[in-house]
Structure 1
Amino acid sequence: MSNRIVTPFGADATADEVSEGVDLTGTRAIVTGGASGIGIETSRTLARRGAVVTIAVRDISTGNKVAAEITAETGNSRIDVRRLELTDMSSVRTFVDEWDEPLDVLVNNAGVMAVPGLTIDGGGWERQFATNFLGHFALTTGLHHALARANGARVVSVSSSGHLFSPVVFGDINFRFRTYDPVQAYGQSKTAVVLFGVAASARWENDGITVNTLNPGAIATSLQRHVGGKLATPVELQKTPAQGASTSVLLATDPHLAGIGGRYFNDNQEASRVDRRPTDIAELVNSVASYALDPDAAERLWDIAARAVE
């Protein structure tokens, strides 16, 4: 990839380390799924840097508990908790309608992984596609006006190296004809997340909004509950939640990344583009599939998503 972005930070860096010296005082940030896993660490670091942080969660009580813990640790009391259910479009619309301020940072962090059986939501969409992609599509496009008001807003979406296991299968997104496979469904949803970054950055460039995506790495969190709570990644490539949140925070805060969008990062570096699925695990976690960066596929997906969330 030409002009591939390289930073001084590697896989071992934490969210605090990549944002050292950054002052977010006066900025507003939303973190979906900000009360669990790497979402907590993302919220904590943004709060530590002075941002007003809104934790968007399904469970308000858990969100309030996490917010109190973050305030106690960082001294930042400007932690807001709001309910958001990404698979419920009415919940997304309510969240959007109630947001009336400029928005500097949106971290689309919430997600589900490898749901064992085919589950179709009320809108007719496979659950992982609906949660990981469509819900965040509706949220982000709904908040476009708030992002545009911020003069340099950043959207950061959490994808996965799992996107290398499937492109978006436009002819059968919802597994009506092909046999449901939880890993392929997860991969398809995470490819969709990357494609959204490509399309949104192109569409919103003149609004000063950038959208980037990332692979956080292998972190043992509740996301793995459908695969026995275990990681297939070798121990030497696994991360702590603080390390897993680092690339999200880097993309949200690093001044050198201002104005850069439509890209995919891993271990705080821009990933290498590949035209085949890597067979080596180390290469796999550092790659991005060419189909996930295809602008034509990104536009096709945008049109489908826009109709789906109307």
Structure 2
Amino acid sequence: MPDRVTTPFTAASTAADVVDGVDLTGRRAIVTGGASGLGIETARALATAGAEVTLAVRDLVAGARVAEDLVAATGNKQVFVGHLELADPASVAAFVAEWDGPLHILVNNAGVMAAPLSRTPDGWESQFATNHLGHFALATGLHPALAAAQGARVVAVASSGHIFSGVVFDDINFERRAYEPWSAYGQSKSANVLFAVEAARRWADDGITANALHPGGIRTNLQRHVSEADLEAARKAANSTIAWRTPEQGAATSVLLAASPLVAGVTGRYFEDCNEAAPNVPGTFTGVAPHAIDPEAASRLWELSSR
């Protein structure tokens, strides 16, 4: 295993701290879920550094409002909005078809957490479909644009929730096992990390790096399906005593991987607190679980997702 990557930044650092002094002029970025929570702060930092930023959002009205606010706050007029419904393959395909020219930064940030059981028209469990399959289709569809950028970065916003479950290939859609919202969430977040592992391998010759991360515990719209009591119970079960972070702190690791020269060329890794994570110690809620970086599982998931 190569040496773990470390930076001067910590859990307390903000996205603004990470991007301070970084010049992204001429770079083009897409941030999914850019109209709320971490997506806004990720987009704000990239726009502040001079990047052209497209907010890929479900709600165009909310997206337009955020874009207007970001233009006013950063002085960067190159903040755009595009419609993207990750659970709808046709929507993803339409977004990809409309993209023109190179893409330097793709931040797969949008997600759903611990939602009640629902399935897409194609039969996929909704958290897996939204958090993984939609982002997989987006990234692979945009692969020519990423390759054209000569040095593109793909950032997969995963979660320490990946520790809850690996990808259960024999029953991804909970057709033969009882549905459990946190297991489904964990499976989808493990899939995010495995995607980065395999994309790093497959796309290395295209100059594309891909990394995954845990942003930390942040109160955002992501938890709309989860009560306060359920959140605290989950934290207790995971022995998590970590304090809630601000969205500005939560976006820091995403922005580090998207923009910082400190991680140029780093690929196929999992980060937390602005540094590469150590292996998870069973019974704890930090670090990366072996099932999420297993190369055989990563390859198997890629083939399944492609089909």
Q: TM-score, normalising length from structure 1?
A: 0.94
CA distance in 2, matches of 1:220, 1:254: 25
The residue that corresponds to 1:250 in the other structure is 256
Asked whether 1:298 is paired with 2:298, we answer yes
CA RMSD of aligned residues (A): 1.2
The structural deviation recorded for 1:127 is 0.2
Asked whether 1:147 is paired with 2:146, we answer yes
Gaps of 5+ in 2: none
The residue that corresponds to 2:224 in the other structure is 225
Report which stretch shifted further, 223-232 or 166-175.
Answer: 223-232
Asked whether 1:82 is paired with 2:88, we answer no
| Displacement over 6 Å in runs of 4+ | none
The residue that corresponds to 2:61 in the other structure is 61
CA distance in 2, matches of 1:236, 1:179: 30
Report which stretch shifted further, 21-30 or 250-259.
Answer: 250-259
Cα pair 2:214 2:271 within 8 Å, conserved: yes
Report which stretch shifted further, 40-49 or 222-231.
Answer: 222-231
The structural deviation recorded for 1:37 is 0.4
Question: Which letter maps to 1:241?
Answer: P
Output one character per residue of 1:149-195: Cα deviation in whole Å (capped at 9) or x when no partner. Answer: 00100000100000000000010000011100000000000000000
Q: Matches of residues 158-173 of structure 1 in structure 2 within 5 Å?
A: 158-173=157-172
SS at match of 1:219: coil
Cα pair 2:217 2:244 within 8 Å, conserved: yes
CA distance in 1, matches of 2:10, 2:118: 37
The residue that corresponds to 1:138 in the other structure is 137
The residue that corresponds to 2:192 in the other structure is 193
The residue that corresponds to 2:278 in the other structure is 272
Cα pair 2:153 2:258 within 8 Å, conserved: yes
The residue that corresponds to 1:208 in the other structure is 207
The structural deviation recorded for 1:256 is 2.3
Gaps of 5+ in 1: none
SS at match of 1:54: strand
Q: Matches of residues 19-98 of structure 1 in structure 2 within 5 Å?
A: 19-98=19-98
Cα pair 1:213 1:262 within 8 Å, conserved: yes
Q: TM-score, normalising length from structure 2?
A: 0.95
CA distance in 2, matches of 1:273, 1:291: 11
CA distance in 1, matches of 2:171, 2:241: 36
* 1:261 paired residue among 267, 277, 294: 267
CA spacing shift, 1:235–1:76, aligned 2, 3 Å = farther
Output one character per residue of 1:76-113: Cα deviation in whole Å (capped at 9) or x when no partner. Answer: 11111010000111100010011011000000000000
SS at match of 1:272: coil
Question: Which letter maps to 2:202?
Answer: R
Cα pair 2:7 2:262 within 8 Å, conserved: no
Cα pair 1:162 1:187 within 8 Å, conserved: yes
Cα pair 1:222 1:229 within 8 Å, conserved: no
The structural deviation recorded for 1:237 is 2.4
Question: Which letter maps to 2:93?
Answer: R
CA spacing shift, 1:297–1:236, aligned 2, 3 Å = closer
CA distance in 1, matches of 2:66, 2:100: 24
Tell me the matched-pair count.
Answer: 300
Question: Which letter maps to 1:172?
Answer: D
Cα pair 1:32 1:107 within 8 Å, conserved: yes
The structural deviation recorded for 1:45 is 0.7
SS at match of 2:288: strand
Question: Which letter maps to 1:243?
Answer: Q
% same residue:
59
